[in-house]
Amino acid sequence: MPQHNNSLRAYFMLQAVQGMGSTSLMPLYSVVSDTLKPYTVVRGIHVHELRHSDPELSRLSTLELLSRAEDDFGKSMKSLFLKDYRTTRNKWAQKIKREIGAIKKLLDYYFGQLTKAVFQDKRLIIPTNYR
């Protein structure tokens, strides 16, 4: 697995060391980073290093190829392909909907915690070096 330059973590650490940031944000960084790791790892890897494979998608690909024949076999494969396509499409749509819901919850948590870190008594906290 490749090493990623983690500039967000480095930024939080630098801010904390310089006394300009809140060390209370480090746990927030960890929550976000750990939660999004499955997405960032796949996104950060070159397309030829990691291939997403799913048996259902492979089966659909094969059925679609077999359904191109213009004989009775091709027609039966086309029927099977369309049935499996609808099932697989619905499964993936539900999976994506769940993932989006989880990411929305993470964003709500993230911005709630961030708001606590940058506001005090409903006023924006401005570091002394920026006043």
Neighbours of 87 (CB within 10 A): 12
Looking at the predicted structure, is the pLDDT value of residue 43 above 80?
no
How would you class 81 by CB atoms within 10 Å of its CB: exposed for 0-12, middle for 13-18, buried for 19 or more? buried
The string of pLDDT tens digits covering residues 57-110 is 899 999 999 999 999 999 999 999 999 999 999 999 999 999 899 889 989 988
| This prediction's pTM | 0.61
Tell me the three state secondary structure of residue 23: coil
Angle, vertex CA 114, rays to CA 111 and CA 119, nearest 5: 120
pLDDT of residue 69: 94
pLDDT of residue 36: 82
